[in-house]
Structure 1
């Protein structure tokens, strides 16, 4: 880094991170004294709301990702996993791999948008055996597991074993859980025609939700509609319940309140998808930065207390809604809004202007709850059924950067209207873990 330059480093390539660099580029496009650096573990932006559609075969995996280098104009991109953050030394350390030494990246200003990781609440057996829905690899692995269960159950004559193969448990009744359950049920029903030995009553999709309703955030009327529509699709919804253990063969489900409270049921299943709970990324959890509820504590400007010029946005930022007095939910809309505020306040800080408070006005919420059906609140109106489904598609299609990717996803959706699902099963390799960074190891300082 040249001595006369000031460097802004953005950590994370999700909606918050990429949204922030695009806004920063608009501010400093012609400023040669400002250098913008984006660091992300993956070299693409993932449209996470569409992961369930990849798991069901509705959308092609490569069509919901956009290369970050295609988004960057002025920004320097570096692919790497953040190991630690040193706010006093103003340096971000990246993990080394088997072939590359660790790297320390110096910064003058920092935006932390590392998102979150799945929280298993200390249940090691669940963590070991459950599937998650956070990454593109997760969606592909779940789809392959589903097809594998269909293939194996076709030649399984023991009804108990066959039932366990065709029972799928989704933990969490939020957006991710309900949309995953709906897409999974659609895939199973559509694919069943290729498996003459499997009847519809052999298939079971169970949603386990600890709260009294699914998809919290919607009003009571929409929540009831969603519950009815999901149940009508044949999905078994267990409210006020929690999974307390899973060994890969059996899931223990405990009733938390209401009739039968305290009772525990064992469900035989080979597939459990965990979408309940998030925790801070390791680099945040292991840092000296102040956290609460697994998130970075920020002020009304999204700046970290005690560290001027360090901001946080997206799922990793604990930002309280002044109206509800509760944290804003981890959604793409809020991540993008926080990214714009963080970028604007960085610009104000560099230009010695007044910073602006984060002020979010919800445009609405929407979720897909089954085949060509959804629920939405938009501009103060409640929308259900087919038109909510159309609204969801239009909204998230518009969030995909680049015309090419939007057309490809639109073609995927159009093809689904006329042709059946592809039941091919492809092997997916797990991404190898990088070697952990150590303070004593040799590293480059950039």
Structure 2
């Protein structure tokens, strides 16, 4: 049995410890907290993490942006509402039923490592961790814990995981050439070939593309001297808790007007002629879709080992490989377009985009695209094409919706390698002129020894 006194002089006791050592540790902790002015009743820590999370969420509802609050709520949702491996790696799955005073730093560190081992990005792991930390901090504030067990947990960085620089995109496979972009577009069924083309030649984020409406496209009069159109970014789309939400753009700078090339302007003009709701400004520009079952190809899908460890392909990889065998026409035929709803990018990515990357390689007869090419690489491609075209950093930053030019420079620093030839010529011109010397009178700066 443990005995201790609270700050008001009242005696307390607790039974039920398995060992005398456990009782003494409990008693020591309680007395230490009293001596240091910390009001703490160890019995209050029996509340579960799940219940503490509800208290924390309620306390934050009024001071968070709705999209941020919804994101936290989804991250803390029970296992049934999570998808994929987050059904067993999600916050509630790992910590939800545990009393907060039973959660240790070692438990949290092990969870962080499990997420990394499952292939989660460092940024994803850090985001989940900080939610756990904030919930446990609520328990400390409510005198349910003496300290936060999330303190001193080591978090991954891009450098610690893969040797890269945090926030810097310098992988050559993330930057496509115009020829590669065309190969991808040609391998996609309509209307998502237009979707990918606009992504690569406007730099919009996936959520921004899905949030576009017919009225967001500014097309010049075909008889006017102006040939270039523009796209206005007014909203973004996110899946939160399984529901499609239309939200404000990521930052103030994300609400913007992006000029379009003549080719993209012409492509969108033709696309809108085919759009069944082209006269409705608030109609989704790109439709959502349902999928019919693909026709059998008669070819057994191959299951190949990937990586040095010989691991089997995932179900998604096998699905993409099978669908890549379809012709572009067959891929288009299995789409059931829903023009009343904005595109759900996640479904498009798995069922249309990933197969198209592999299909492009099949059609080319060689790996014209990196097999694991992600959709966000099209945004990186836009940045690289802008830099190659000589567009100033300030304008590239504005087009991409970054908060400030320094953000663009830090992400794509290797693209902005400065050419100092003009400056050095000007600096060299300031040196006093020297009389021309005969060839045999030239003395080298360093003599051979």
TM-score (norm 1): 0.25
Report which structure shows greater RCO (CA 8 Å, sep ≥6): 1
Rg larger for: 2
Higher strand proportion (structure 1 or 2): 1
